[in-house]
Structure 1
Amino acid sequence: MNAHQSLAIGQPLETLEAISPAAVEADPMVRFAGISKTYPAYRGKPGVNALQDIDFAIPRGSITGVIGRSGAGKSSLVRLINGLEKPTTGHVIVDNREISALAGRELRLAQRSIGMIFQHFNLLSSRTAADNIALPLEIAGWSKADIKTRVAELLALVGIADKHDRYPSELSGGQKQRVGIARALATRPSVLLSDEATSALDPQTTRAILDLLANINRELGVTIVLITHEMSVVRQLARDVVVLDAGHVVESGHVADIFTHPRHPITQSFLAEAIGDSLPVSLQSRIVAEPPVGGQAVIRVQVRGAGAGDTLVARLARELGLDVALLSARIDEIGGQHVGSLVLGIPLGIPGGEGAVTRTLAWLSQYQFSAERLGYVA
């Protein structure tokens, strides 16, 4: 049993030993090495290459998002982690065990250290909340006294101690998911897999569930893997993100890095959906494609770090001698870092006109700011 498994509920994370970056790299919680997964032809349907050339690690104690469209390979990836599928090639290492090589009783024992939260809760309607949470403990052979104690701890942890005797039909969607989370934590797993766990919930309930998962990660040190198609979920909760497309990892890294410098078109499309257009409606309606006489070029700049947005306009004005206007600003905290979008107006009715815009874009590029020209306003 590792340190994460033996940590009591509510014990502060500070009691865990600090893990250095080198140790995280050398001892990840989940490791995919040379993975491919091919499903053979079936009943006249052609075979499917669900995953190809997958090779990445998930740090111990982290919250990592795995995002992709339908058919990207997310479900296959999660089924490899919990041993429900075997890779066609390669190795899956979970908590220093090659789960892809286990079978029978050894596999079942290993799966107890991997909790699973489902999109549609998967609760048994004939069992109360407490009895649903108790089920994996009964299967594992716990005593009735220990089960009773553990279930009470878990109900308190997920904030529904008063729902002990309620049946699923008597619970809201958020309460059902809290039962599902408690059940997934019952056997003290070291890894918690969240498979689209908030997709069936409204925005307010989603935020509450994500806050609960963040608290579980802090309190218990459990490694959480978020399988999702929603970048907003990754933005709120994850530190690292892996982007899947057509069975390939197309981009990965710290969430703040991906948000400020997305390279792949699929990542850019996810971000466009998550962030939306940061322009106020009043400004959007004024933007035109051709530069008006005496108008301004509209440039959107991605900034990162506390205070980065505060100084950018002043630095531009000072170093380039421009009268820069701040038209719009949005700052979020993503992966523990401040990430923002500033919309600037660069005056055209000065000597140099478009030259001022070119110099501004060159200056931003020099200092590694990601920027794009959106158009012009009068």
Structure 2
Amino acid sequence: MNVHPSLAIGQPIEKFDAISAHAISPAATASDAMVRFEGISKTYPAYRGKPGVNALQNIDFAIPRGSITGIIGRSGAGKSSLVRLINGLERPTTGRVVVDNRDISALSGRDLRLAQRSIGMIFQHFNLLSSRTAAANIALPLEIAGWAKADIRARVAELLALVGIADKHDRYPSELSGGQKQRVGIARALATRPSVLLSDEATSALDPQTTRAILDLLANINRELGVTIVLITHEMSVVRQLAGDVVVLDAGRVVESGHVADIFTYPKHPITQSFLAEVIGDSLPVSLASRIVSEQPPAGQAVIRVQVRGAGAGDTMVARLARELGLDVSLLSARIDEIGGQHVGSLTLGIPLGMSGGEDATTRTLAWLSQYQFPAERLGYVA
């Protein structure tokens, strides 16, 4: 048996059986949910000859308090409508949106404005006022809220330090880089000490290195301040780096949701699988992929890809598979990531062609993997 050296022997295989994932919402009871969507639909009426649009349909899920939850979907999936319901800029056609135990969809006037102060918003294109310095942009929501000047100065200095740009106090947006502008935007969103921070495609306009830095900053804010963060995005790489839970939208409906590691390991819906394909791509080395054929050769190996979870799960699974079935299993390639605080891996196994225990070895292997709930697929054969 050939075992990849980077995979350490872990716990018994029973520890890594598939988890029952993909309930239609991240687990959050009424008491520990920061945001709850209850029977939500949103329909935009016909306008100037354009037909009406059912932007959201039958939305029921909860966002746990203190979590980082990603809401992902293609353009037109309903992400923007969802975020505008959270901050009260839109009202649902049916159902209600509860934020921090307040039905925000039922508020109006002064009550709505007060509730909106507890919901910060970070924008894709920063939305800074060009005529104001970094400090003055951050101060704006505090001025609107009626804070005293001395308190504003102290709060702005605190926030500039928090986001790592204390030295940019007097710089105007035109003098700042994209990442620095977004840091100002984050500081402004945090000014009134919100309990919820909405990030609407906040890294889409940034380069990869700056994106990683901004996501690290948001993770730090979540840890230090306990702010619930909702990531609205079309990028699964953002969800992978930052979120603990993910909700997948398609055509106004929730098609899949759960812990990020569960979704990455066991994606059920085609739209989720397509998102993951963009992030993970084909995990096979070129040298192996070029050798795989669809027709079974007279001699060689069947190539099977298996999804695993947990530290050491892959090595344990391969060792036990080889031992119980009496097969000379080869580990042809392996990719291990840490997602949502858990190890998630894709292993490519070589199963010798021929009989094992009176049955086809490949058939026995796939049955064994299914028995222990390891998602697997036969990719083809190598001679």
TM-score normalised by the shorter chain: which range applies? over 0.9
Q: Distance in 2 between matches of 1:23 and 1:226?
A: 17
Deviation at 1:338, TM superposition (A): 0.8
1:152 aligns with 2:157: yes
Please, what is the CA RMSD of the aligned residues?
1.5
Question: Which one is further off, 343-352 or 219-228?
Answer: 343-352
Structural mapping, 1:4-23, within 5 Å: none
| 1:370 partner letter | P
Which segments of 5 or more consecutive residues in structure 2 lack a partner in the other structure? 1-25
| 2:113 partner letter | R
Contact map agreement 1:348 1:354 (CA 8 A) in 2? no
| 1:79 partner letter | R
- Describe the superposition over 1:111-134 as per-residue Cα deviations: whole angstroms up to 9, x where unpaired: 000000001111111111111111
TM-score by length of 1: 0.92
Deviation at 1:354, TM superposition (A): 8.2
> Helix, strand or coil for the counterpart of 1:26?
coil
1:260 aligns with 2:272: no
| 1:53 equivalent among 58, 65, 70 | 58
| 1:64 partner letter | T
Partner of 1:15: none
> Helix, strand or coil for the counterpart of 1:35?
strand
Partner of 1:4: none
Partner of 2:34: 29
Partner of 1:38: 43
Partner of 1:65: 70
| 1:319 equivalent among 318, 324, 328 | 324
1:230 aligns with 2:235: yes
Q: Distance in 1 between matches of 2:197 and 2:78?
A: 19
Deviation at 1:350, TM superposition (A): 5.5
Shift >6 Å, 4+ stretches: none
1:127 aligns with 2:98: no
Deviation at 1:310, TM superposition (A): 2.0
Aligned length: 358
Contact map agreement 2:249 2:256 (CA 8 A) in 1? yes
1:87 aligns with 2:112: no
- Describe the superposition over 1:94-144 as per-residue Cα deviations: whole angstroms up to 9, x where unpaired: 001000000011100000000000011111111111111111111111111
| 2:279 equivalent among 270, 274, 281 | 274
| 2:101 equivalent among 96, 99, 108 | 96
Contact map agreement 1:364 1:371 (CA 8 A) in 2? yes
| 2:147 partner letter | W
Name the CA shift for 1:175/1:161 in 2 (closer, same or farther; >3 Å).
same
Contact map agreement 1:65 1:242 (CA 8 A) in 2? yes
| % identical equivalent positions | 90
Q: Distance in 2 between matches of 1:104 and 1:121?
A: 26
| 1:59 partner letter | P
Name the CA shift for 1:298/1:23 in 2 (closer, same or farther; >3 Å).
closer
TM-score by length of 2: 0.91
Name the CA shift for 1:22/1:247 in 2 (closer, same or farther; >3 Å).
closer
Name the CA shift for 1:296/1:22 in 2 (closer, same or farther; >3 Å).
closer
> Helix, strand or coil for the counterpart of 1:127?
coil
> Helix, strand or coil for the counterpart of 1:52?
strand
- Describe the superposition over 1:48-100 as per-residue Cα deviations: whole angstroms up to 9, x where unpaired: 00000001100000000101010000000000000000000000000010000
Q: Name the structure, 1 or 2, with higher relative contact order (CA <8 Å, separation 6+).
A: 2
Deviation at 1:293, TM superposition (A): 2.1
Partner of 1:210: 215
1:333 aligns with 2:338: yes
Q: Distance in 2 between matches of 1:153 and 1:319?
A: 61
Q: Distance in 2 between matches of 1:129 and 1:27?
A: 35
> Helix, strand or coil for the counterpart of 1:124?
coil
1:141 aligns with 2:157: no
1:178 aligns with 2:188: no
Q: Distance in 1 between matches of 2:28 and 2:56?
A: 28
Partner of 2:308: 303
> Helix, strand or coil for the counterpart of 2:209?
helix
Q: Distance in 1 between matches of 2:126 and 2:136?
A: 14
Partner of 1:291: 296
Contact map agreement 1:293 1:349 (CA 8 A) in 2? no
| 1:174 partner letter | G
Deviation at 1:355, TM superposition (A): 1.3
Q: Distance in 2 between matches of 1:214 and 1:24?
A: 23
Which segments of 5 or more consecutive residues in structure 1 lack a partner in the other structure? 1-20
> Helix, strand or coil for the counterpart of 2:376?
strand
Deviation at 1:27, TM superposition (A): 3.1
- Describe the superposition over 1:16-73 as per-residue Cα deviations: whole angstroms up to 9, x where unpaired: xxxxx99855331000000000000000000000000001100000000101010000
